[in-house]
Amino acid sequence: MAEDCPLMPMFPPEVHRSHLTPLRFLQRSASVFRQKPAVVYGDRTWTYPELEARVNRLASALVNAGVERGDRVAFLVPNIPPMLEGHFAVPLAGAVLVAINTRLSAPEVEYILDHSRAKVLVVDTELAHLVEPGLERLGNLELVVSVEDVPGGTRLPGPSYEEFLASGSLNSRDWPLDDEDETIAIDYTSGTTGRPKGVMYTHRGAYLNSLGELLETRMSSDSVYLWTLPMFHCNGWCYPWAVTAIGATHVCLRKLDPEAVWRLVAEQGVTHFCAAPTVLISLVNHPSKPQEPLERPLIISTAAAPPSPTIIAQVEALGAEIIHVYGLTEVYGPYTVCEWQPHWNLLPAEEQARVKARQGVGYLIADDVRVVDDRMRDVPPDGETLGEVVMRGNNTMKGYYRDPEATARAFAGGWFHSGDLAVMHPDGYIELRDRKKDIIISGGENISTIEVEQAVCAHPAVLEAAVVAIPDAYWGEVPKAFVALKPGQHVSEEELRDFCRGRLAGFKIPKAIAFGELPKTSTGKVQKFVLREREWAGREKQIN
C-alpha cells in the first residue's frame, strides 16, 4: 500500500514561514489603505502611500550615506512625523534605531550616542543644544541631519531632514532581514541608579508586542491614535508599528499640553491614547476638560506607575475607558493588563476602580507573569505574600547592549527580574506593592508605599502624592508623604493623617507630610529616589 502512495513533495522552509517584522505593517497598510489619513500633524496630512514613500526615501538616503547592516541610527526628535518615519526607515535600511529621550541633559545624550556608537544622528533643531557640546568627542558619528520643525532652533553641520529625504529613492527596498531575532531598536533606560542601559528589541518581539497592543486596546482601522506618550519611551510601547499595522490614524503632538489634548480629542475624533497616571491627573484637573461625558468612545492605556483607584474613577467619569497595563523598558513597555471580567460590571463604580488598579495578567502574546520568592518559588496566591515579579517570552528584551554582566544578572534563573514587588491574588491577577528599593520596613513590618499613596490620593484636595521611607530612631524607618494639592485647595498635615486613619493601619499612616511639587522623570514617573536621597543624606538606607 505504501508503494502506491506518492511521496509528499518537499518544500523549502520559506514556503511555510516568513520572518516576523514590523516592516510588513507599513507595506500592507500602504497597499490596503490607499486614501485614508495615516498621519495628521497640525494642518498637514499624509496618506499611507505617502508615508511609505517618505520612509523609502529616508531608508535609501541612509544607505546612500554609508549606513550598513547593524549600524545604529539615533533620533533626538519629539513626537512629530520624522520620529514616526524613523521607526520604519531605519530598520528598512538594515540599521538599528536608537530613539533618545528628548528631556535628557547634554552629558546624558552624549553618553548614549557614544555608548550606542551611533553612526547617524537625526536631531530636531530645538534640541541641538543637547548635542553640540559633545560633537567633537563622538568619533563614531559621521552624519547629523537636522529636522527644522519650529523656528528658533540651531541647525548643526549637515543636511536638513527634507534635503536628506530628497537625496533618497522612492523605490521600495527588500527587507534586509535574515533572522527575526535581529535587533530592531535599542532603548536606553532612565539610569536613575547609574548609567543608562541599552535595552535591545528584536523584529520578532516588536511585531508580536504591536499585535498585543491592538488586541488589548481593541484598535481597528477606524481608530485615531493621539501621540501623548513619547515615541522615545519603549519605542512608544510599539504603537508606531501597531497603529500602522491596523491602518489607523496617527495624530502627532509635538508637546504634551492638556488643552491641546482635549482639543484634538474633539477635533480629530481621537479614540485612543496612552498616558502615565500623572498625565491623567493633569488632564482631569485642567479647565479645558470635557464638562459633559464624551460623545465618542475613548480608550486610554495607563502605566509607568500604579494608578490610584481615585484617578481611574475620575477619568472614567468623563466617559473614557481606562485600560491598566504594566511593564518596563525591558519588556517593550506593557507586559500585563488588568483584563476586564464581565462580572465586574456589577460592582459599584468605586470597587470597579479598585479592581482595575491591579496590574493583572500577561498579554495574550506573553508568557504568564510570575511572583516569586528569593529561591524562584511561586508565592502563594493569597493576595498578601510579597514576591518579585518575573517575566520571559516573546516580549522580553534580547539583552542589554554591550553589557553582558547586567544581562546575566537580569536573566538569573531563566527569567527577567523586574525589581518590582507584588502579590498574587487568588484569581491569578498580580498587584504591585512596591519597587524593592521603595518598600518601607518599619519595626519589622513591610509597608507598601503604593498603598499609602492611594489612601492619601483619595482625599479630594490631593492632586498626587509620593511616599518614601525616612529614618526613625526607634522604628528604623517610617513613611513620609510628599503631597501636591489641587489648585486652590488646602489641607493640613493633621487633617490628612486623620483622613488616612480610616483607610490604613496605624503604623502605615505617614509620620510626616510635606506639601509641594513632586520631582518627575520625562515620562511622568515621580522620582522617589530624589526624595529619598534628600531625607537620608548622611545616613545609610538599607535596600532589602
CB 398 within 8 A of CB 428: no
Is the model's pLDDT at 404 over the cut of 60?
Answer: yes
**Tens digits of per-residue pLDDT, 302-321?**
987 778 888 899 999 999 99
pLDDT given for residue 504 in this prediction: 85
- pLDDT for 350: 87
pLDDT of residue 185: 98
What value does the mean pLDDT take over residues 443-463? Answer: 86
Percent of the chain whose predicted confidence (pLDDT) is above 70: 95
Instruction: Categorize the per-residue pLDDT at 437 as very low, low, confident or very high, splitting at 50, 70 and 90.
Output: confident
Fold of 18-212: Rossmann fold (3.40.50)
**Average pLDDT estimate for 316-331:** 95
pLDDT score recorded for residue 384: 93
Predicted confidence at residue 502, as pLDDT, reads 76
In this prediction, residue 522 carries a pLDDT of 66
pLDDT at 438: 82
Architecture of domain 440-535: 2-Layer Sandwich (3.30)
Range with the poorest average pLDDT among 94-103, 159-168, 499-508: 499-508
Tell me: the pLDDT tens digits for 121-163? Answer: 999 999 999 999 999 999 999 999 999 999 989 999 999 999 9
Position with higher pLDDT, 15 vs 485: 485
CA angle 264, 265, 271 (to 5 degrees): 130
Contact in structure between 522 and 103 (CB atoms under 8 Å): yes
Report whether pLDDT(193) > 80: no
Average the pLDDT over each of 151-155, 476-480, 497-501, 525-529 and give the range with the smallest value.
525-529
Q: Report if pTM > 0.75.
A: yes
CB-based contact 187:26 (threshold 8 Å): no
pLDDT at 544 (0 to 100): 38
pLDDT tens across 2-44, in order?
445 455 555 555 788 889 999 999 999 999 999 999 999 999 9
Q: Which contacts qualify for 471-478: CB closer than 8 Å, 24 or more apart?
A: 471/535, 471/536, 471/539, 471/541, 472/442, 472/511, 474/443, 475/442, 475/443, 476/441, 476/442, 476/443, 477/440, 477/441, 477/442, 477/541, 478/440, 478/442, 478/511, 478/512
Structure confidence at residue 541 (pLDDT) = 53
CB within 8 A of 264, min separation 6: which ones?
Answer: 226, 251, 253, 270
pLDDT for the residue 79: 98
pLDDT at 542 over 60: no
Mean pLDDT, range 471-487, rounded to an integer: 89
Q: Is the alpha carbon torsion for 259, 264, 267, 272 positive or negative?
A: negative
What is the average per-residue pLDDT within 371-384?
97
Give the best-scoring range by mean pLDDT among 167-171, 240-244, 444-448: 240-244
Confidence of residue 543 (pLDDT cuts 50, 70, 90): very low
- Closest to 478 (Cα-Cα) out of 506, 444, 440, 504: 440
Short-list 383, 356, 354, 355, CA closest to 371: 383
User: What is the helix (H) or strand (E) element at residue 435, kind and residue range?
Assistant: strand 430-435
To which H or E segment does residue 479 belong? strand 476-485
CA nearest to 254, candidates 86, 77, 100: 77
Average pLDDT, the chain: 92
Mean pLDDT value of segment 222-242: 97
**Whether the Cβ atoms of residue 452 and residue 415 lie closer than 8 Å to each other:** no
Nearest Cα to Cα of residue 457 among 493, 500, 422, 494: 500
Assign residue 517 a region (left: φ > 0; alpha: ψ between -120 and 50; beta: otherwise): beta
Digit-coded pLDDT (tens) for 62-105:
999 999 999 999 999 999 999 999 999 999 999 999 999 998 88
- 277 pLDDT band, cuts 50/70/90, is confident
CA distance 145 to 236: 22
CA distance 484 to 467: 12
pLDDT in the model for residue 11: 52
Listed by start position, the domains of the chain span 18-212, 275-383+422-435, 440-535
Cα distance between residue 410 and residue 116, in whole Å: 20
Q: What is the pLDDT of residue 1?
A: 45
Task: Retrieve residue 407's grid coordinates.
Answer: 544581562
pLDDT in the model for residue 17? 83
Cell of 98: 536608537
